[in-house]
Amino acid sequence: MMETKETVLDILEEITGTDEVRENPDLDLFGEGILDSLGVVQFLVELEARCGVSVPASEFDRSRWATPRDIADRAAEWAQ
Amino acid sequence: MIFMSPYETPFYFIVFGIAVAPLGLLLFFGKKRLWYQCALTVFFLYMSFGGARYKQGIALAAYLIFQTALATAYFKYRQKHNAAPVFIIATLLAVLPLALVKLSPVLSESLSAAGFLGISYLTFRSVQVVVETRDGLIKEFGPLRYVLFLTFFPAISAGPIDRYRRFSGELFAPPGPDRYAELVGQGIQHIFMGFLYNYIIAHLLGHMLLPLVKEYVLSGGGFLGILYYMYVYSLYLFFDFAGYSKFAIGAACLMGYDIPPNFNKPFSSGNIKEFWNRWHMTLSFWFRDYVYMRLMLFFLKKKVFKSKVAASNLAYFALFLLMGLWHGITWYYIAYGLYHAAMICLTDAWLRFKKKHKDGLPHGRFTRALSVVITFHAVCAGFLIFSGFLNELSERM
């Protein structure tokens, strides 16, 4: 589970091009304009490729997947 | 029996208040009776689709039977299998009634008989259920809850477009007395804001000011006249639609439902992307989730394009072209869609540029204000295309 969370942060860092996602786990990714729909799709594709976790796009509700911490938690839930 | 469209006159609210009162009383005691909501639904559908509009009522009934059969069959199929072609056929079938109605001006006028007020909003909901069934997200499905979801009458004619899983949760679980008291407070506030927006401001702008501006432009108002028209029409569109959404959200609150918002200060947006996150939100989120993201997932997984940017731009054009066509098969709706697609691609390019040159660009209250003003004008220019007024103007010349 920790592994998935770590990979999630790696992916987020690559996509957003900023280490802020690691430094501030409660960063409002969409509100700050750091992540957008394209970023979400890239994230979902990478998550499936690296962790074998397939999260449907319609599950990615921005209010529940708002921060790096949220995303890591949700992805870990889906990994189980 | 008095027949009327949802929120057509203040009288609708009186009828609504009386009819919904028993439901509210039950909710104050933490209880819910589904049969009463069913009875309310039948009553309000009859009020809006009966009488002189009985043909629309028949079309609605046929639509509901068709979509319920389709969704039930696909749900049953999906429990055991998951073939892509079946999913595609199910999606196309869900869109078919709306497509026929929209294409009736080009194909055959008789097809328009399948139409009724709100068919597009019901179609958005139908497609969503098919897609989420495919994703395995819809675990429970029943014909009754599906029909209640499609025909949730406070939002039937123009949204907000709710999500099945969210609605389903609220359908069976009453909000609890304290939460319901909160919802009633919010609901009343929404409805009164709706009166202000829709019945007063939109009425003044659309029915009193707009005809005068139109007259001015047609009598040779020139560029300045068109500019006036653009401002008045854009503000009218906002107050009319945002007011209507407030009615729908307020009415839903009084029934114990917390349906999603549709407008969030759209004219305060700093760019076009932000605008679409604030304007007709449930519609743009629908297009984002079920058109743009689906296409992008397909493009990226199958590596169709070398460049992610090219893929994204194409997906934006697909999204907005579809949104334009949905408004109607007329050149200015299609132009409106293409205009917004171009705008959003430009915005994306600008945002990428900004990210690269973060330190070299000024950033502060003044640049924010400037970006809001520019966005407002870009959006209003889009509404001017959308209004069809340029079409009317060119025909007169």
* Rounded Cα gap, residues B101 and B94, in angstroms: 13
Provide the shortest C-alpha distance from residue B376 to chain A (in Å). 19
Enumerate the domain spans of chain B.
33-173, 266-396
Please, are residues B33 and B26 in contact by the beta-carbon 8 Å criterion?
yes
Domains of chain A, CATH where assigned: 2-79 (1.10.1200.10)
Among candidates A33, A42, A58 on the partner chain, residue whose Cβ is nearest the Cβ of B289:
A58
B131 contacts in chain A (CB < 8 Å): 58
Summary count for chain A: helices (H), strands (E):
4, 0
pLDDT tens, position by position, A13-56: 999 888 888 889 899 998 888 898 999 999 999 999 988 888 98
Among candidates B137, B292, B351 on the partner chain, residue whose Cβ is nearest the Cβ of A59:
B137
Among candidates B131, B136, B300 on the partner chain, residue whose Cβ is nearest the Cβ of A42:
B300
B273 contacts in chain A (CB < 8 Å): 36
User: At residue A1, does pLDDT exceed 70?
Assistant: no
**Residue B52, token pair as written in the block:** 């002189």
pLDDT tens, position by position, B99-150: 999 988 888 888 888 888 999 999 999 999 999 999 999 999 999 999 999 9
**Which residue is closest to A58 within chain B, CA to CA?**
B289
**Which residue is closest to A34 within chain B, CA to CA?**
B355
Q: Do A57 and B288 touch (CB under 8 A)?
A: no
Q: Which residues of B are catalytic?
A: 327
ipTM of the complex, rounded to two decimals: 0.90
**Which residue is closest to B301 within chain A, CA to CA?**
A45
Mean pLDDT, 10 residues at a time, chain B of 397 residues: 88 94 92 92 93 92 97 96 95 95 85 87 96 92 95 91 94 91 96 96 95 89 90 96 96 95 95 94 94 93 90 95 91 95 95 84 88 96 93 82
* Closest by Cα among B137, B237, A59 to A70: A59
* Rounded Cα gap, residues B345 and B272, in angstroms: 10
In whole angstroms, how far apart are CA B200 and each of B160, B206, B243? 21, 10, 10
Return the pLDDT at B350.
93
